C-alpha cells in the first residue's frame, strides 16, 4: 500500500485544571478530553525520500514548523526506516481554537505512516512518537473520552460522554496557547474545576451532571472578549452547559435535543467566524476505511 486516507477527529476539553508547574516549567494538568465528529482528513503517500506537505489551507506551514511534518520525521527516526512521505491535509478544524487540529494532523500522519510502511506499531508506540511532536498528539491518537494528566503523557480511560449534541462556536480571533498559559501565571487566579464529579456524572450516564461540572482554568487567562458572550448566548439558545475548550478561543455548548442544537447553529451563523454541530466520538486518528460507524 502506497497511499492511505486517515480521518483525525478534533477534541474538546470538558475540563481543564492546572495543578502546578514541573521542574522544567511545564504546566501540570488534569483534563477530561473528548474527540468529536469534526474531522481533519490526512492523506499520506509513500515516497523514496524527503517529507513534503500540501494543504487546502494556505495559512499553515508546509515545513518542519508544521507538527505533522515533525511527526513524520519522528516516525522515521523511531522506526529506523529510510523512506519519505507526502502529506496532504484537508483542514476543517479552525486554528487557535483549543481543538488540537494540528495535533490531530500529526496523529493522522503517524497512523498513516504505520499503515503504508507496515510497521504494526501498537497505539502505545505511536503515542511515544506523538509525545515528542506535541503534548496533545498522544490523546489525538487514542481518542474517545479520556482523563489526561501530567503534560499530556498520562492518559486514563473514562466512561464515554453521554449521548448529546455539541454546538461549537469559533469567534473572529483565535488565542495563542503560550500566551494563555503565560497570562494564567500572571493572574494566578484559579477556577473551581471538580474533575472527579465530572467523571462521576459520566459513570452515571448523566449528561446534565456533565454539563454542570464542565470547567476550564484558562477561560479568564485566554482573555478573549468573545468567550462569556458566546457562553451566555449558547445557554439562551438551549444549551444545558457551555465552556471554552482548551486554551480557546472556541466555545461549545452541550445540547440534549438535536432540533435545539440545529436552531442554535442557525442562530450563530454570521455572528461568529464559524459554527459547527458535532457529536462525541469514541476514536482518535483512524484509517478512513476502518472508521467506526457507531460509537
Architecture of domain 165-278: 2-Layer Sandwich (3.30)
- The pLDDT score that the predictor gives to residue 293 is 67
* C-alpha cell read off for 167: 454546538
The domain ranges of the chain are 3-158+281-289, 165-278
pLDDT tens for the chain, 295 residues: list them.
899 999 999 999 999 999 999 998 889 999 999 999 999 999 999 999 999 999 999 999 999 999 999 999 999 999 999 999 999 999 999 999 999 999 999 999 999 999 999 999 999 999 999 999 999 999 999 999 999 999 999 999 999 999 999 999 999 999 999 999 999 999 878 899 999 999 999 999 999 999 999 999 999 999 999 999 999 999 999 999 999 999 999 999 999 999 999 999 999 999 999 999 999 999 999 999 988 865 4
C-beta of residue 284 within 8 angstroms of C-beta of residue 9: yes
Nearest-angstrom CA–CA distance, 74 and 140: 16
Q: Which of 17, 30, 105, 136 is catalytic?
A: 136
Q: In CATH terms, are 3-158+281-289 and 165-278 the same topology?
A: no
Nearest-angstrom CA–CA distance, 254 and 36: 12
CATH fit for domain 3-158+281-289, picks 3.40.50.720, 3.90.190.10, 3.30.230.10, 1.10.10.10: 3.30.230.10
Q: Could you confirm whether 136 is annotated as catalytic?
A: yes
State the greatest distance between any 2 C-alpha atoms of the chain, in Å, as a whole number.
56
Q: Could you confirm whether 231 is annotated as catalytic?
A: no
- The pLDDT score that the predictor gives to residue 1 is 84
Q: Which of 11, 91, 96, 231 is catalytic?
A: 11
Please choose, from the candidates 240, 188, 239, the residue with its C-alpha nearest in 3D space to the C-alpha of residue 218.
Answer: 188
Amino acid at each position: 500500500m502506497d497511499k492511505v486516507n486517515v480521518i483525525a477527529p478534533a477534541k474538546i476539553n470538558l475540563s481543564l485544571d492546572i495543578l502546578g508547574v514541573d521542574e522544567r516549567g511545564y504546566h501540570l494538568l488534569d483534563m477530561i478530553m473528548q474527540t468529536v465528529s469534526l474531522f481533519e482528513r490526512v492523506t499520506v503517500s509513500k515516497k523514496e525520500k524527503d517529507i513534503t506537505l500540501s494543504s487546502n489551507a494556505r495559512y499553515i506551514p508546509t515545513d518542519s514548523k508544521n507538527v505533522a511534518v515533525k511527526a513524520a520525521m519522528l516516525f522515521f527516526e523511531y522506526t529506523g526506516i529510510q523512506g519519505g512521505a507526502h502529506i496532504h491535509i484537508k483542514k476543517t478544524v479552525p486554528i487557535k481554537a483549543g481543538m488540537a487540529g494540528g495535533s490531530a494532523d500529526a496523529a493522522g500522519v503517524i497512523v498513516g505512516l504505520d499503515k503504508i510502511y507496515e510497521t504494526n506499531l501498537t497505539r502505545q508506540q505511536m503515542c511515544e512518537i506523538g509525545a515528542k511532536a506535541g503534548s496533545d498528539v498522544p490523546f489525538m491518537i487514542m481518542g474517545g473520552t479520556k482523563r489526561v494528566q501530567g503534560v499530556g503523557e498520562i492518559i486514563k480511560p473514562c466512561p464515554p460522554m453521554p449521548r448529546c449534541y455539541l454546538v461549537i462556536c469559533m469567534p473572529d480571533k483565535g488565542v495563542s496557547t503560550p500566551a494563555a498559559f503565560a497570562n494564567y501565571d500572571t493572574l494566578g487566579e484559579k477556577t473551581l474545576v471538580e474533575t472527579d464529579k465530572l467523571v462521576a456524572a459520566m459513570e452515571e450516564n448523566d449528561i446534565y451532571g456533565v454539563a454542570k461540572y464542565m470547567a476550564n482554568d484558562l477561560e479568564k487567562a485566554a482573555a478573549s472578549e468573545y468567550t462569556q458572550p458566546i457562553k451566555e448566548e449558547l445557554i439562551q439558545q438551549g444549551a444545558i452547559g457551555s465552556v471554552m475548550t482548551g486554551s480557546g478561543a472556541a466555545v461549545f455548548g452541550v445540547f440534549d435535543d438535536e432540533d435545539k442544537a440545529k436552531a442554535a447553529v442557525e442562530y450563530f451563523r454570521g455572528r461568529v467566524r464559524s459554527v459547527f454541530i458535532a457529536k462525541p466520538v469514541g476514536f482518535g486518528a483512524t484509517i478512513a476505511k476502518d472508521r467506526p460507524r457507531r460509537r
